Amino acid sequence: MSATPGLEPPYGGRDPRGMAALIDAIPEHIEAALARTDAAPWRVPGAAPELVAVGGMGGSAIAAELTGALGEAAFPRPWLVVRDYRWPACVRPGALAVLSSNSGNTEETLALERVARERGVAVVGMASGGELAARLRAAGDHVQALPAGFPPRAALFHAWVPMSRLPAALGWADDAGADWREAATLARSRRATLGPESPEPVNPAKRLARACAGRTIAVYSGTGPLGAVALRWRHQLNENAKVLSSCAVVPELNHNEIVGWQGAGPSHANRTVIVLRDPEDPAEVAMRLDLTAEYTARRGAAVHEIRAEGASRLARMATLVQFGDYLSLYLALLGGADPTDIASIDEFKRRLAAARHPR
Q: Which residues are catalytic?
A: 239, 255, 349
Contact assessment for residue 229 and residue 220, using Cβ atoms and an 8 Å cutoff:
no
* Rounded-to-integer distance, Cα 132 and Cα 108, Å: 11
Contact assessment for residue 54 and residue 98, using Cβ atoms and an 8 Å cutoff:
yes
Which segments of the chain does DSSP mark as H helices, in order?
A: 19-24, 26-39, 62-71, 107-119, 130-138, 156-169, 177-194, 204-212, 225-239, 257-260, 283-298, 313-335, 343-356
**Whole-number Cα distances in Å, 289 to 212, 250, 275, 296, 312:** 20, 7, 7, 11, 22
Phi-psi region of 167 (alpha: psi -120 to 50; beta: other; left: phi over 0): alpha
* Rounded-to-integer distance, Cα 76 and Cα 90, Å: 16
* Rounded-to-integer distance, Cα 232 and Cα 238, Å: 10
Is the bond preceding residue 196 a cis peptide, omega within 30 degrees?
Answer: no
DSSP class of residue 308 equals -
Q: Tell me the one-letter amino acid at 152.
A: P
Contact assessment for residue 227 and residue 249, using Cβ atoms and an 8 Å cutoff:
yes
DSSP run (H or E) holding 275: strand 271-277
List the beta bridge partners of residue 217: 245, 272
Contact assessment for residue 53 and residue 92, using Cβ atoms and an 8 Å cutoff:
no
